Amino acid sequence: MAKRQIMGISDDQLSQKITNNNNNNNNNNNNNNNKIKEIKKEFQRLSMEIIEENNNNLIENDDGVINTINKAIDALIALKELKLTNKNKSISSVFDQFDIPLEFRCPISKEIMKDPVVLSTGQTYDRPFIHKWLKDGHRTCPQTQQVLSHTVLTPNHLVRELIAQWCKDHGIQLPPPVKDLDEGVITDADRGHLNSLLDKLSSTLSEQKQAAREIRLLTKRMPSFRSFFGESVDAIPQLLNPLSLSEKLDDHPDLQEDLVTVILNLSIHDNNKQVIGEHPLVIPLLVESLTRGTIDTRSNAAAALFTLSALDSNKLLIGKSGALKPLIDLLDGGHPLAMKDAASAIFNLCVVVENRGRAVRDGAVRVMLHKIMDGILVDELLSILAVLATHQVAVEELSELGAVKCLLGIIRGNTCERNKENCIAILHSICINNRTKLKELRDEEKAYCTISKLSEHGTSRAKRKANSLLDRLYRGINLTHTA
């Protein structure tokens, strides 16, 4: 039977090559392991010396102590380098047995790429090596020597898939790519590139769209680009320039979507929340975008309002802007992508007392109760209703809309303790204001002992509310409103 060949090498030749490589690797590893043992012993000796000098308070010999500490630090650094060398060799030795295609090797490390990325010149490198090159201050491409227009590293998914398939064909497991690295402070080249994109937002429509899409991608991937907007006085006005013309909103929904999404990306950065929220054009544009544009635009506008409302001052600004009504309409619209973002924004806004009355006036109670009855976003909407139930008009609406039966059903059949707690809190508020609803509670107790069970097995707050209701039902004690 003919011997199988891989990459032009027979089984016997490959076996012998692997054996020789393994022997060499074992010898190298043994040498490294011996060095590691020696360094560990030296580090232990130095550590004991430092402790002894410290215990003896040898202040008069500060120079000697510092010298010992420096030696200990050097030993730690050497130990780290040896361990990394062992780790890298163990990975590399597997690939040394094969003739790896040149295009799969990083031009810097000459090793197979685990996380290939494309530089602005179009050349592909392994992420950790090109990242180190850039971190060291280089602003040219290692291969072409071209000056980089920016330092954004774009994943090369095609090369990654080709490498993965090659490894699979040769029975090799490719190590996972390194985790995304923080590109750190924005460089002068990056700042120049971003400024050029912002300038394009005042140019032709095609350039506006291209620039908006690229800024959207940059602010999604790199925190450093988000921070730039908080540092530059002119960045946000330049960003919003295309949207300042109202006809653009309807005529070019793709441009609107990209710019609203940029605002969402920027709002994630904590230092941007106040700057963006207080800009006179941002919140009005987000509010308008809740009802116009693609569903992604509407959803991202709601998400942006949610992240911006992390600041209490922004909660008030957003509430006064009229955002609650379109958020409630977006929730009522029923699109899965948008409902959760809208609900999250409403909840955050209603933390502020002033916004609860606005939400109630804008129809929040009816919309949310109907969604809950349909089994939609039950957890989220119960949390909001529990907050709104501190408002007199909201409680009256809940009574009229048949909330008691719905809430009792959830307590009886739901396994989520948080939902039960919110249900009993809402019921507690309803029964304070409407004694006629106590009959429904008595009927429920006779049939299922729902409230009694909750008073025994619920959360501490649920037990407190349930016991208060039971007192009202059976002993005629006046119900008091507790938190």
Asked if 126 contacts 98 with a C-beta cutoff of 8 angstroms, the reply is: no
Number of residues assigned to the chain: 483
Predicted confidence pLDDT, tens digits, the chain (483 residues): 333 333 343 445 444 543 454 455 455 555 656 666 776 777 677 677 666 655 554 444 455 566 667 676 766 666 665 555 454 444 444 555 567 888 888 998 888 888 899 998 999 999 888 887 887 677 889 999 888 877 788 889 899 989 888 888 888 877 666 554 444 556 667 788 899 999 999 999 999 999 999 999 989 887 778 888 877 888 999 999 887 654 556 788 999 999 999 999 999 888 899 999 999 999 999 999 999 889 999 999 999 999 999 999 999 999 999 999 999 999 999 898 899 999 999 999 999 999 999 999 999 999 999 999 999 999 999 999 999 999 999 999 999 999 999 999 999 998 899 999 999 999 999 998 888 899 999 999 999 999 999 999 999 999 999 999 999 888 754 444 444
Asked if 110 contacts 119 with a C-beta cutoff of 8 angstroms, the reply is: no
Asked if 389 contacts 421 with a C-beta cutoff of 8 angstroms, the reply is: no
Q: Note if the pTM is more than 0.85.
A: no
Residue 330: strand, helix, or coil: helix
Other Cβ atoms closer than 10 A to 121 = 15
Contacts 24+ apart (CB under 8 A), 444-452: 444/408, 444/412, 445/470, 445/473, 448/412, 450/408, 450/411, 450/412, 451/411, 451/424
| Cα separation, 146 vs 139, whole angstroms | 8
